[in-house]
Amino acid sequence: MPYMSWRLKVAVLFTSIVVLTHEGRVLRMTGGSAFANNAAPNAAASSTSLASTVAAPRRNEACPEGTLPDGDVCVHLALDESGPELLVAPGAHREKSGAWATYQQIPRLPDRPPSYDAYLYPIPPGLANGAAVVSGYDLDRPDGQQRRGQRLSHVGHGGVDLPQARGTRVSLLRLEHQSGEAEVLYTGPLFGTTVVTRHTLLENGVNRDYVVLFGHLESIAPSVHPGRAMADGEIIGTVGDSGSPGLVHLHYEVRRVRDGVDLRKVAAGPRLIAEDVSIVCDPRNVLPLRPL
């Protein structure tokens, strides 16, 4: 019955929002419109964090190449004639022990739309009004605005969480400026049952490798194994809650491989997401835009 299924769907969606909100306090309880509301503060936080994290120049020292003096600091130039330059910025948050955890991260580029609704994802949107993201990238936000688990076991979020029904098929998504097909690097436990793929993006005339995580899967497609090339739209697996019991969603995370790292020499598995191998990146920098 269409009427009943509509009501059931609303109930399921509402449950997803409530449960995931428990996990991440960044969210507001207003459904799809939360993301539109988040857009402005997020943009503000992003630029604040960039401005406040650039290194202050030593006295009488000119700003390094690619930066300009702005008051007491050297500000990185986000854009030039050859296109957007990806910035690496320091980030930090306070862990349960009270210690600061520091890391590098790549915040959203200023020319990329702040709204998560502007992008395509590896699964169909699972929220009301066509929204897909229930919890977004927040490593570029000040410590107090990063997400906190109930026991502070989850601080900060380097990907996007996409709620969908258990068993929904997850497809390989070709990223912007990607050259060639993606390659499966790893399948197995990581963020629950996880598939990690490699994508080479042509940025400002330079090929850069990215690794993409598909986490909390219910299952991995039988044909998906390390070394396999994956074309846009090929099935990776299905949405589940492995490693996040009761929270059925896809964790989708993008990381840029550090310059000089040869992925062929990196052991498949947790090493792929180690700080010295890859830097977490705001996925909006590389996700394809949703057609208008």
| Interface residue list for Zn ion (CB under 5 A) | 161, 251
**In this structure, how many other beta carbons lie within 10 angstroms of the beta carbon of residue 192?**
17
Residue 250 CB, nearest approach to Zn ion (Å): 8
DSSP string, the chain: -HHHHHHHHHHHHHHHHHHHHHH-TT--SSTTHHHHHHHHHHHHHHHHHHHHHSPPPPTT-PPPTTEEEETTEEEE--EETTEEPPP-EEEEEE-TTSPEEEEEEEPPPTTS-S-GGGB--SS---SGGG---SB---TTS-GGGS-B-TTS--BS-SEEEEE--TTPEEE--PPTTB-S-EEEEEEEEESEEEEEEEEEEEETTEEEEEEEEEESEEEE-TT--TT-EE-TT-EEEEEB-TTSTT--EEEEEEEEEPTT--GGGSPSSGGGGSTTTEEEE-GGGTSPBPP-
Residue 75 CB, nearest approach to Zn ion (Å): 31
Residue 251 vs 255, nearer CB to Zn ion: 251
Residue 199 CB, nearest approach to Zn ion (Å): 19
Residue 239 CB, nearest approach to Zn ion (Å): 13
Question: Nearest residue to Zn ion, using CB?
Answer: 251
User: What angle (nearest 5°) sits at the alpha carbon of residue 48, between those of residues 115 and 77?
Assistant: 90
Residue 251 CB, nearest approach to Zn ion (Å): 4
Residue 76 vs 216, nearer CB to Zn ion: 216
Residue 164 vs 200, nearer CB to Zn ion: 164
Residue 84 vs 103, nearer CB to Zn ion: 103
Residue 78 vs 155, nearer CB to Zn ion: 155
Residue 74 vs 286, nearer CB to Zn ion: 286
Tokens standing for 48? 């604040």
Residue 24 CB, nearest approach to Zn ion (Å): 8
Residue 157 vs 199, nearer CB to Zn ion: 157
Residue 219 CB, nearest approach to Zn ion (Å): 19
